[in-house]
Structure 1
Amino acid sequence: MGKVAKSVLGLLAALVLLLVVILVRTATYAPPAAVDPANVQLAPAVTFDRARAAEHLSQAIQIPTISHQDPSENQPAEWERLHAWLQTTYPSAHAAMTRELVAGHTLVYTWKGTDANLSPIVLMAHQDVVPVTKGTEKDWKHPPFAGVIAEGSVWGRGTLDNKGSLVSIFEALEALALQGFSPRRTVMLVLGHDEEANGLGAQGVAALFKSRGITAEFVLDEGMVVISDNPITRAPLAIIGVAEKGYATLVVTAQATGGHSSTPPKETGVTTLARAVTAIVEDPFPLDFQGPGAAMVRSAAAHASFPVKMAVANTWLFEPLLVSQVGATPEGAALLHTTIAPTMLKGSPKENVLPQEATAWINYRFAPGDASTEVMARAKAAVGDLPVTLSWTKTPNEASPVSSTTSESWKALAAVAGEISGAPVAPGLVLAGTDSRYLQPVAKDVYRFQPIELTMASTSQIHGTNEHLSLEGMERMVQFYARLIATTAR
């Protein structure tokens, strides 16, 4: 046999071996965060009145606890009205728990467990909602603060974000209290009053917990949902946030001499600013198939088409392709790196006046692993010797730590989420911010999930027009919280 023939045979053998390795790894692939529900003893479903629960959510929507951009526009009496309504509506839950006020209107409830040696579990929701944009009220099918029950849903601002969770948690607690449930592990609620503003309530609770030496076994807040048409599996996927991005806004300022626009110098404050902003944006953080965003893809791939599963099972070969495919959309790219978004500009107050100062604001969302100091250093390196100053508008919120997907808390949470949603469960990365970030220092793990099923398109209802929660969705929410509490606190 000639040398050429031997080389060809050797190449074919190598290709066959490569194919065998790829196929074996694909056939035996198991997602890293998978939980076998058979290994978790789930508490049974509770009995509650679905129609009455919907009516309760309707009533809560009619109490407009709106966090305005200008805090002076807020109406504290509405929060007090909501507090009184909770006490009247859920008497058994209130009889079982103690209640505290923190930082004005944030509520902390404690249902004391029988075993003081066990760390408490903490469920979070927030009382406040965002305003409805003026002029868009007419675009709503039903008035945004009327709490109309129609077409199999409760309609109104806050049904999804986040009074749906708040009311469902109380419905669950009321049902458990009525059936005589007694927790072995302490159950706590943290209901922030200003999550949509500055989170001072949650920060106050974190300080309170620290002063009392409280470390939660886990915290569960809003953040992720069940996506019915997620692009990886084209089927429902329950995504539990195990981390959330950090947040900060960079101010870029260019000083100039100003003057009349009829005699502009070669370089103006605006052109200097433009060059600086462009330099920062054109030095993006690289897409990286690591962290919670990649973990979501890895978990979902077990339930995806063969090509997707094959690529994820063999990242040693296909990682560049995966990064390219996931990063092809803004939403996908945001999962894999720190994002840079110029959002605001300020220059001259008049069109024929050269500004003495031109300013741009650039919003960053830090991926886990990227610290604000590194982000600032990258921005400074990008602008080089351009005559601009860089500063943060305020102290950045760093990206959160990544919570465990192997702990007993994760196993219980994932098992209940899978049972209630009927969907595979995956860890994920929350791109926005929640109150739970403030409780990270006083918790072993923090998770972010509501068992609401939404399409990719319908997620726009959150802070948008025609926000509503289906009655079936609310039933799932109540059963989810009740079974999670009974499973983890018994």
Structure 2
Amino acid sequence: MRKRGIIILGGVAVVAIAAATVAVRTAGFAPANVADGSDIRLAATVPYDLDAAVRHLSEAAQIRTVSNQDPAENQLAEWDRLQAWLASTYPAAHGAMTRTVLPNKTLIYHWPGSDTSLAPVILMAHQDVVPVTPGTEGDWKYPPFAGTIAENAVWGRGTVDDKGSLVGLFEAIDALAKSGFKPKRGLYLVSGHDEEAGGSGAVAAAAKLKAEGVKAIYTLDEGSIVLTDTPVIDGPAIMIGIAEKGYGTLKVTANAPGGHSSMPPAETGVTTLARAVLAIADKPFPMEIRGPGALMIEALAAKKGGTTKMAVANSWLFGPLLKRQLSATPSTAAAFHTTIAPTMLEGSPKENVLPQSANALINYRIAPWNSSADVMARAKEAVGDAKVDLAWVKPPREPSRVSSTKSQGWKWIAAAARADAPDAVLTPTLVVAATDSRSMEPVSEDVYRFMPMHFTLKGAAMIHGTNEHMEVDSFKRMIDFYARLIATSAG
């Protein structure tokens, strides 16, 4: 009995120590290493004509700079049309900045600063838009390339991604130039021509800037938003992307003798391929609460409080529970692991012919703590001795580096964003898609991805989808944000 009592007392002591540790860690928990920008003195906004700005976005949406998967299908005259429209619509901005048009239609604008010892800033927004899915044109409330102004919004492909940013930047710069603003710190505006089809324009622009010795203090591009119904807090959050995932597409090929389908062997190329694809998909990368996703969860949990805060503050104890909750929805889970998505299959050209070669494409979005080498190694381990070949369709793009949440650039962006959403939680995040900004890493100390548009989770789903539209309220927020940011960080 005495031994049993000692064991019980020991167990009670362990529980008491654990409970005390949980209580202490919860009480002292706060997001680490994230500056709120409260020490930044923001410049005042400048006047502009919002009605004219809305008309301008409508006009830009009518120019069909559609990036097709096959560049030969692109109507390059539309890029010329857009660039001529920019020059005629924003004379003050074009009078203040020099313009370089690269051979591929990518634009580089430069507004020189009066103090050349100061590192410049780089702002980005791309010219191209994705196609409208054939057969869905009739599902739009308003024609996708009409730029219709209705219901307090501008409707059309690209109004959000990314002509809203492009026009918003020019509205802000034009207004600043008209007001007599003269930057001390130089400003570059880079507008890629093919962000939606690989981003070769941004690569070329970065190479040119590097050759000229440019090293910016920060770069800002599209990527994340102000989410008004953010999970965990069910409220607004300013979500600034500090990194983006890598990208790679793996081709899995099964070669076989082929032949007539009336006399199939025990294993065909298709069955070999199917088993290999399932083996790869059934060996997912584990959920990991780290990197930008962990910073985001910390910020949201600190706001939420209660048991959520307790769980995040004590991930050493509640880690498995947190991972189960985070993996409940694909959109949330994507921020915490490398994703594996089989997307395309190809086999025989005819139903009664056994293919001599069957292949599948598997798309990966690579988390910042993984690499393409990790992906290949895991895929090879998954297929084992299966008779398949694994190869990248094209050289994969590694994940971006993770930018600082305490730098001067972060503080400027955070302060400018908070000015318009003072009650929102400020949080870093991981951008799970791809942006042109990744190409600016060699010429910029930090790279951020944020647009000050206010969206619900449901509303954000129309980006790249049917009925894409920019609400006038969000567009105004965007112009004000860019004007404040430029005047504060370059002034």
Cα displacement (A) at 1:36: 3.7
What secondary structure does 2:263 align onto?
coil
Distance 1:179 1:381 in 2: 62
Q: Tell me the residue number matched to 1:489.
A: 490
Q: How does 1:218-257 map to 2 (within 5 A)?
A: 218-257=218-257
Q: Tell me the residue number matched to 2:196.
A: 196
Q: Tell me the residue number matched to 1:435.
A: 436
Alignment check: 8 A CA contact 1:253 1:390 kept: yes
Q: Tell me the residue number matched to 1:473.
A: 474
Cα displacement (A) at 1:16: 4.0
Alignment check: 8 A CA contact 2:161 2:464 kept: yes
Indicate how the Cα distance of structure 1 residues 378 and 258 shifts in structure 2: closer, same or farther if over 3 A, else same: same
Q: Tell me the residue number matched to 1:400.
A: 400
Distance 2:2 2:346 in 1: 75
Q: Tell me the residue number matched to 2:409.
A: 409
Deviations 1:368-397 (A, max 9, x none): 121112211211121111111110010111
Deviations 1:125-167 (A, max 9, x none): 0011111112211111111111111111111111110000000
Cα root mean square deviation, aligned: 1.6
Alignment check: 8 A CA contact 2:129 2:196 kept: yes
Distance 2:321 2:221 in 1: 34
5+ residue gaps, structure 2: none
Alignment check: 8 A CA contact 1:121 1:187 kept: yes
Cα displacement (A) at 1:118: 1.2
Distance 1:255 1:104 in 2: 39
Q: Tell me the residue number matched to 2:340.
A: 340
Distance 2:146 2:242 in 1: 35
Q: Tell me the residue number matched to 2:141.
A: 141
Distance 1:274 1:49 in 2: 58
Q: Tell me the residue number matched to 2:181.
A: 181
1:53 aligns with 2:64: no
Cα displacement (A) at 1:8: 5.2
What secondary structure does 1:401 align onto?
coil
Cα displacement (A) at 1:363: 0.6
Cα displacement (A) at 1:211: 1.0
Q: How does 1:41-440 map to 2 (within 5 A)?
A: 41-422=41-422, 423-440=424-441
Q: Tell me the residue number matched to 1:447.
A: 448
What secondary structure does 2:177 align onto?
helix
After TM superposition, what 4+ stretches of structure 1 lie above 4 angstroms from structure 2? 1-14
Indicate how the Cα distance of structure 1 residues 338 and 36 shifts in structure 2: closer, same or farther if over 3 A, else same: closer
Cα displacement (A) at 1:258: 0.7
Deviations 1:219-256 (A, max 9, x none): 10101111111112110111111111111111111111
Distance 1:406 1:383 in 2: 43
TM-score, normalised to structure 2's length? Answer: 0.96
What secondary structure does 1:94 align onto?
helix
Indicate how the Cα distance of structure 1 residues 7 and 257 shifts in structure 2: closer, same or farther if over 3 A, else same: closer
- What is the total number of aligned residue pairs between the two structures? 490
Alignment check: 8 A CA contact 2:36 2:414 kept: no
Alignment check: 8 A CA contact 1:103 1:204 kept: no
Cα displacement (A) at 1:2: 7.0
Indicate how the Cα distance of structure 1 residues 283 and 114 shifts in structure 2: closer, same or farther if over 3 A, else same: same
Cα displacement (A) at 1:7: 6.0
Distance 1:4 1:136 in 2: 72
Alignment check: 8 A CA contact 2:250 2:361 kept: yes
Q: Tell me the residue number matched to 1:459.
A: 460
Q: Tell me the residue number matched to 1:29.
A: 29
Cα displacement (A) at 1:343: 0.6
Deviations 1:259-280 (A, max 9, x none): 1111111111111111111111
What secondary structure does 1:227 align onto?
strand
Q: Which amino acid aligns with 1:363?
A: N
Distance 1:268 1:291 in 2: 43
Q: Which amino acid aligns with 2:63?
A: I
Percent pairwise identity: 57
Distance 1:11 1:381 in 2: 42
Q: Which amino acid aligns with 2:321?
A: L
